[in-house]
Amino acid sequence: MTVAHLTDRAVIDISGPETGNFLQGLITNDVEILDAGEALYAALLTPQGKILFDFLAARSGDTVFLDCAAAAREALVKRLTLYRLRTKVTITARDDLAVVAAWNTGPLHGLVFDDPRFNALGRRAIVEKKEIPTDAVGADVYLARRLGLGVPESADFGQDKIFALDAGLEELQGVSFEKGCYVGQELTARMKHRGTARKRLLAIVSQDGENLPADSQVSAGGKTLGEIVSVYGAQGFALIRLDRLEEAADAELIANTVRVTITKPAWLSA
């Protein structure tokens, strides 16, 4: 079994008698179906339907733990606190807890759950920092796995830049179209029913091992397909028009002067 300590992730706990109702009216997924020991993937959107924060939410008793990007945790706590008003919930940043991910086989300890986005991502656990396995590998090992599977998250979305459906949240089990209202629900539902979500975040890699040019347009035959939104050396994610990618067929793809390959992952049904 490979266990990775995800130092780029952090934990928030939300507790209190109105935790479920509080989150149900805010986030993209259905908290009411979340049983103890289970997790779901969700996001908090702008009223215009663009992603502000994404996270995994896991229930333990009456508490919901959010596994979120460490760089965004403070801002997420502030945003949740802003929405709390007089709701009977407590929102706490838990510096005593850490997130680990595991794949292949073997036991995990702590609050353990299957990654709800995609089976190949394996399992995760929220653990006390003193219980992080001594043989855990670094977050970079998990990042390489995630990039290889073409699964975007957090920093790949930016803030208030990408619509939930363009980011693949539907295919990654992060949006419920059966629940009631939440922030950004109206536009998200409209995009779904009108079929206007024609873009997706797709994995992109430099063919020659060069670093990808950040924020550059991707083109084929002089036609723009989309733009690079996140870079990890020679790999990253680009927001691509699916119809234009299909039209490009076997044409050479270029980002600035760098030759690139774009991969549509198996989990993406669009």
Give residue-wise pLDDT tens across range 134-146. Answer: 999 999 999 999 9
Binning pLDDT at 50, 70 and 90, where does residue 36 land? confident
Q: What is the mean pLDDT of residues 228-254?
A: 94
Model confidence at 169, in pLDDT bands (50, 70, 90)? very high
Residues 6+ apart with CB under 8 A from 233: 211, 212
Q: Which of 63, 236, 30, 49 is nearest to 151 (CA)?
A: 236
What is the pLDDT, as a whole number, of residue 270? 54
Strand pairing report for 63-69 and 51-60: antiparallel
Encode the chain in three state secondary structure. CEEEECCCEEEEEEECCCHHHHHHCCCCCCHHHCCCCCEEEEEEECCCCEEEEEEEEEEECCEEEEEEEHHHHHHHHHHHHHHHCCCCCEEEECCCEEEEEEECCCCCCCEEEECCCCHHHCEEEEEEHHHCCCCCECHHHHHHHHHHHCCCCHHHCCCCCCECCCCCCCCCCCCCCCCCCCCCHHHHHHHHHHCCCCEEEEEEEECCCCCCCCCCEEEECCEEEEEEEEEECCEEEEEEEHHHHHHHCCCCEEECCEEEEEECCCCCCC
pLDDT at 196: 65
Neighbours of 261 (CB within 10 A): 11
Domains, the chain, ordered by start? 2-156 (3.30.1360.120), 198-263 (2.40.30.110)
- Rounded to 5 degrees, what are φ and ψ at 154? 40, -100
Per-residue pLDDT, 123: 94
Question: Residues 89-133: pLDDT tens digits?
Answer: 999 999 999 999 999 867 788 999 999 999 999 999 999 999 999
Q: What pLDDT shows up at residue 124?
A: 95
What count of other Cβ atoms lies within 10 Å of the Cβ of residue 108?
Answer: 18
The angle formed by the CA atoms of residues 27, 59 and 46, to the nearest 5 degrees, is 10
Average pLDDT of span 227-237? 97
pLDDT at 266: 86
**Can you give the pLDDT at residue 195?**
74
The mean predicted confidence, pLDDT, of the chain is 93
pLDDT tier, 225 (very low <50, low <70, confident <90, very high otherwise): very high
Q: Provide the pLDDT for residue 250.
A: 84
Bridge partners (DSSP) listed for residue 63: 60
pLDDT of residue 260 exceeding 70, the answer is yes
- pLDDT interval class at 197 (50, 70, 90): low
